[in-house]
């Protein structure tokens, strides 16, 4: 039987799909919604609500292959959603930075406003009386005193003018900062809305897939695992030696999860998807990785396949939609697909090898 699925991590609670009236939902995968559901004894066609008729699979092998393809496509969609959440975090951080910049600019503007007021009082009042050049002339005891007082008055006026100019510049910066903050907030809000819609659609796809998978016979489910499960599980090796303490901790942590269930969108501690496992393993080593295979494929340093060392991340498909952790001897540990636990498998078992990155060591 398939592994039960835990709920996926949702977009922020304040923005749920229910709060998105009129939003067009993304197009779902044809073979997921076509409703090819198979009983253990015969090939039959069951249509899901609201779907068009589809041709039934001709053989059990073809049916298993269709479900395997659906599993791969769900992983692609899940990793796209994971990547969208990473981008959202970056946008929210940018929005917070813009808000802080706007607040600091406003504080500076407020401080300069008070400075202007003080300069104005110094320049134009003296002892409660208005100070003018005529006042200076009439109250001066000598020509030298008059020149001295007039120079002081001009200096104060010049300082005031400079301060007024600075206030204008700071006011412009504050306005720009407020505009940038609003733009950042709007972009983050749109990302949240989009993720909420994608999350709802993904959960519907997973429910459809689960029905299809559960309807397969045990041999058919095994065929799905072979077609998109990273090959046969291998015994977890002992004594894997990584090139650095951080890589060693990541390898040890990943191997400790062997046997844990695969759940789309999960990042531990008891269930994982592919990028959730690798980010969890490196977090234990004090290295923060985004929960996205695409983002992880841009982290660290690129290494060739011939230079792989334990702890390196290995990526599959183009564009990248799957990641595992190399453990040496041509093997990796990874969360492969639904219905399959975290396991050790051959590096060649997934096919479509893409690239590798060294995160530590």
Which residues touch 265 (CB under 8 Å, ≥6 apart)?
8, 9, 78, 81, 82, 202, 273, 276
Q: What angle do CA 161, 167, 169 make, to 5 degrees?
A: 110
Higher pLDDT, 351 or 52: 351
Residue 159 sits at the vertex; the CA angle it makes with 156 and 164, to the nearest 5 degrees, is 125
* pLDDT above 90: residue 241: yes
Helices (H) and strands (E) in the chain, counts: 8, 8
What pLDDT, on a 0 to 100 scale, did the predictor assign at position 294? Answer: 94
Which residues are known catalytic residues? 274, 322, 334
Tens digit of each residue's pLDDT (9 = 90 or more) over 157-177? 555 566 556 666 766 777 787
Cβ proximity of 347 and 361 under 8 Å: no
Strand partners, 267: 272
Provide the pLDDT for residue 186: 84
pLDDT at 154 over 80: no
pLDDT surpasses 70 at 322: yes
Q: What average pLDDT does the segment 312-317 reach?
A: 97
Bridge partners of 152?
Answer: none
Report residue 335 as tokens: 């969360």
Q: For residue 346, what is the DSSP state?
A: E
Question: Has residue 200 got a pLDDT over 70?
Answer: yes
Which residues have a Cβ under 8 Å from the Cβ of 202 and sit 6 or more positions away? 8, 74, 77, 78, 81, 264, 265
Cα distance between residue 296 and residue 287, in whole Å: 12
Q: What is the reported pLDDT for 193?
A: 83
Residue 275 phi/psi, 5° resolution? -75, -25
pLDDT at 54 over 80: no
Residue 152 has pLDDT above 80, yes or no: no
Instruction: Return the structure tokens found at 302.
Output: 């690129």
Residue 127: its pLDDT value, please?
Answer: 43
The chain-wide mean pLDDT, for the chain, equals 74
Q: 3-state SS of the chain: helix, strand, coil percent to 5?
A: 55, 10, 35
Q: Which of 81-85, 227-231, 295-299 has the lowest mean pLDDT?
A: 227-231
> What number of other Cβ atoms are within 10 A of residue 294's Cβ?
18
CA distance 311 to 285: 11
Looking at residue 34, what is its pLDDT? 36
Render pLDDT for 329-351 as a digit per residue (tens, 0 to 9): 999 999 988 888 999 999 998 87
pLDDT class for 296, splitting at 50, 70, 90?
Answer: very high
Instruction: State mean pLDDT over 265-282.
Output: 96
* Cβ contacts of 164 within 8 Å, gap of 6 or more: 116
For the cut 90, the answer to whether the pLDDT of residue 245 exceeds it is yes
The reported pLDDT for the residue numbered 69 is 79
pLDDT of residue 240: 95
- Sorting pLDDT into bands at 50, 70 and 90, what band is 57? low
pLDDT at residue 333, rounded to an integer: 97
- Residue scoring higher pLDDT (3 or 182): 182
Main-chain phi, psi angles of 129, to 5 degrees: -105, 150
261 vs 158: which has the higher pLDDT: 261
> Does the pTM of the predicted model rise above 0.85?
no
CATH node for 231-358: 3.90.1720.10
Query: What is the pLDDT, as a whole number, of residue 260?
Result: 97
pLDDT of 4-44, one tens digit each?
Answer: 333 333 333 333 333 333 333 333 333 333 333 333 222 22
Mean pLDDT, residues 239-245 taken together: 95
Q: Of 345, 192, 203, 195, whose CA–CA distance to 274 is shortest?
A: 345
Does the structure show a pLDDT above 90 at 293?
A: yes
Residue among 231, 209, 277 at smallest CA distance from 69: 209
């Amino acid at each position: 039987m398939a592994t039960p699925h835990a709920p996926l991590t949702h977009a922020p609670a304040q923005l749920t799909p229910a709060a998105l009236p009129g939003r067009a939902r993304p197009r779902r995968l044809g073979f997921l919604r076509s409703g090819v559901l198979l009983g253990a004894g015969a090939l039959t066609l069951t249509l899901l609500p609201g779907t068009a008729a589809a041709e039934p699979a001709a053989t059990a092998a073809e049916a298993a292959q269709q479900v395997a393809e659906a599993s791969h496509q769900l992983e692609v969609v899940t990793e796209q959603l994971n990547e969208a959440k990473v981008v959202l975090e970056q946008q929210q951080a940018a929005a917070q930075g813009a808000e802080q910049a706007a607040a600091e600019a406003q504080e500076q503007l407020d401080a300069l406003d008070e400075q202007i007021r003080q300069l104005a009082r110094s320049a134009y009042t003296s002892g409660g009386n208005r100070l003018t050049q005529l006042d200076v002339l009439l109250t001066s005891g000598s020509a030298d005193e008059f020149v001295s007082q007039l120079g002081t008055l001009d200096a104060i006026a010049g300082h005031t003018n400079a301060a007024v100019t600075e206030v204008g510049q700071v006011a412009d910066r504050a306005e720009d900062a407020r505009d940038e903050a609003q733009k950042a907030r709007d972009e983050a809000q749109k990302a949240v809305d989009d993720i909420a819609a994608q999350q709802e659609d993904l959960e519907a796809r997973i429910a459809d897939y689960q029905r299809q998978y559960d309807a397969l016979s045990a041999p058919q489910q095994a065929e799905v695992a072979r077609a998109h499960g990273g090959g046969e599980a291998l015994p977890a090796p002992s004594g894997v030696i990584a090139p650095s303490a951080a890589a060693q901790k990541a390898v040890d942590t990943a191997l400790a999860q062997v046997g844990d269930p695969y759940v789309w969108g999960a990042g531990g501690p008891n269930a994982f998807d592919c990028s959730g496992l690798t980010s969890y393993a490196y977090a234990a080593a004090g290295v923060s990785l985004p929960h996205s295979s695409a983002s992880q494929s841009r982290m660290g340093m690129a290494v060739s396949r011939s230079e792989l060392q334990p702890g390196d991340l290995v990526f599959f498909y183009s564009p990248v939609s799957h990641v595992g952790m190399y453990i040496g001897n041509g093997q990796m540990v990874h969360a492969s697909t639904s219905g399959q636990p975290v396991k050790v498998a051959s590096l060649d078992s997934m096919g479509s090898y893409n690239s590798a990155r060294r995160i530590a060591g």
